[in-house]
Amino acid sequence: MSVPVSVPFADDAAAGPIREGSAAPVARSRPALSPSRAADFKQCPLKYRLRAIDRIPEPPSRAAVRGTVVHAVLEDLFGLPADERQPQRAAELVPGAWERVRAERDGIDELVAEGGPEALFAEVRKLVASYYELEDPRRFEPHGLEERVEADLDGDVPLRGFVDRIDVAPNGMLRVVDYKTGRSPGPLHEARALFQLKFYALMILRTRDIVPAQLRLIYLADKNVLTYAPDREELDRFQRILTALWRAILDAGATGDFPPTRNAMCKFCDFKALCPEFGGTPPPYPGWPEQLPVPTELPPEDL
């Protein structure tokens, strides 16, 4: 199995959200809510606009490349028979995963120039080895890998996202798993991680009429696992929150009023040169896109 061409570079929690870079403008399409785009608007409406509406390319980072390769290795690992999913075999998958990612992305060789690919391979293998301390991939078969999930709340609130892994137990109970190549959040930042999990849980509920028994974030950098067990009433309340958020985005889209918000994540932002908070000027507002969503535009959220 392989990471689809449409999947942008994975986020690294320690480095802040980074998205796929490109030398050419990305075709505009009607925006949808994903965990990352929802978080963008809450954090800084201008950041949301420049990413989701203007589609201004952002350069990838080494951390993002590393995260994408780790995800490719773990996906390939589950493509093997269970008894072959040994740690050494996982380590052997790294060069092939790198070559596939490299072939699908332009301009990433420069990101690994210092130390060469072998230095990157060592970083990836360390993270993959950490995975074995948290789960044993030989003991279960995943139901789905890198699964695209879509839902429309109330008929006009489009949700989109990619789920790293979906497991179904023999008794039918469902578990959603998302890998993170960064470090686990501290108590002050757990709310964002839980926001992402609730987002996935709500999409599963609306598409399968199943409340997941467990949602799990696996943080490979510091070998921590964050779990969440949702209930239907809580997800119904969360739907109302997302609906209100989408209404606010649509209102901003109609007027073009996406104000910047200075916050702690500004130091990771690639849009400083266009931000009034840092002396920049945004480009003219291009208007709210009217085209239908395109399948290739959406990331596998906060990989």
DSSP 8-state assignment for residue 25: P
pLDDT at 28: 52
Rounded (10°) angle between helices 190-208 and 232-255? 100
Rounded Cα distance, 164 and 201, in Å: 13
The pLDDT of residue 25 is 43
Q: Are 201 and 211 in contact (CB under 8 A)?
A: yes
Q: How many Å separate Cα 209 from the centre of its chain?
A: 23
Q: What is the pLDDT of residue 2?
A: 30
- Would strands 214-219 and 174-180 be described as parallel, antiparallel, or unpaired? parallel
Q: How far apart are CA 55 and CA 42, in angstroms?
A: 18
Extract the residue ranges of the chain whose pLDDT is less than 70.
1-29, 188, 291-303
The maximal CA–CA distance of the chain, rounded, in angstroms, is 58
Q: What is the pLDDT of residue 11?
A: 35
pLDDT tens for each residue of 163-215: 999 999 888 899 999 999 999 988 767 777 888 889 999 999 999 999 999 99
The three-state secondary structure class of 298 is: coil
Cα dihedral 274, 10, 92, 216, rounded to 10, equals 150
Q: Give me the phi and psi of 16, to 5 degrees please.
A: 85, 165
